[in-house]
């Protein structure tokens, strides 16, 4: 409900996404097509207690997709220095072609919320040691 209310109703400006069924079907289709988890594994980036420099993860992703996704992290716990990946965002054109997230957004929808539910604590990852957690993080 949250994803539809917050993001779907904005995406529904597009004919191809103008119903809940279309929106969620497309999301699943893109998710399967990206196959992010398998590609990361193939590139030797495994979830768990191994730490990676952010640049290594970024380069791996760019080598597969030829675009740079937006990687957002949770800041290190107090007294620690490893940030944790919270989410990896891929950006698409309106025709669902991957594009660099860094490119400026043309006619973005003003009503679109940027923050998914429960991710207020996420910020752009710093160029430092990064944990790719093996489980879904629970936010406070
Ligand atoms: C994304 O940006 C990189 C580096 O600037 C560039 O090499 C690549 O071609 C871009 N990809 C697309 C799909 O525009
Ligand atoms: C990145 O570094 C800045 C400046 O030190 C800090 O404010 C921010 O919280 C850090 N972000 C993460 C995800 O650790």
**Locate tokens 């103008």: which residue?**
18
pLDDT of residue 138: 56
Answer for the pair 75, 121: CB distance below 8 angstroms, yes or no. yes
Q: Per-residue pLDDT averaged across 110-115, rounded? A: 47
Going by pLDDT thresholds of 50, 70 and 90, the confidence category of residue 118 is low
Question: What's the 45 CA to ligand 1 centre distance in angstroms?
Answer: 22
Write down the pTM of the prediction: 0.81
Domains in the chain (CATH in brackets) are: 35-131 (3.90.730.10)
Q: Which one of the ligands is nearest to 125 CA?
A: 2
Answer for the pair 137, 27: CB distance below 8 angstroms, yes or no. no
**103 pLDDT above the threshold of 80:** no
Mutate to test the pocket of ligand 1, among 59, 61, 66 (most ligand atoms within 8 A of CB): 66
When mean pLDDT is compared across 9-13, 14-18, 135-139, the lowest value belongs to 135-139
**62 pLDDT above the threshold of 70:** yes
14 to 2, 30, 76, 77, 102: CA distances (angstroms) = 19, 16, 39, 41, 22
Question: What's the 16 CA to ligand 2 centre distance in angstroms?
Answer: 37
Compute the distance between CA of residue 122 and CA of residue 21 in angstroms, rounded to an integer: 29
Nearest C-alpha neighbor of 121 from the set 69, 81, 84 = 84
Pairing of strands 91-92, 83-89: unpaired
pLDDT of residue 107: 44
């Amino acid at each position: 409900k949250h994803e539809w209310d917050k993001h779907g109703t904005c995406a529904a400006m597009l004919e191809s996404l103008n119903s809940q069924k279309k929106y969620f079907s497309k999301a699943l289709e893109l998710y399967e097509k990206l196959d992010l988890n398998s590609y990361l594994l193939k590139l030797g980036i495994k979830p768990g207690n191994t730490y990676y420099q952010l640049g290594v993860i970024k380069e791996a992703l760019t080598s597969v997709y030829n675009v740079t996704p937006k990687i957002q992290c949770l800041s290190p716990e107090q007294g620690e220095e490893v940030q944790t990946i919270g989410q990896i965002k891929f950006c698409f054109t309106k025709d669902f072609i991957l594009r660099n997230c860094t490119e400026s957004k043309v006619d973005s929808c003003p009503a679109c919320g940027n923050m998914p539910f429960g991710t207020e604590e996420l910020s752009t990852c710093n160029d430092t040691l990064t944990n790719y957690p093996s489980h879904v993080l629970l936010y406070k």
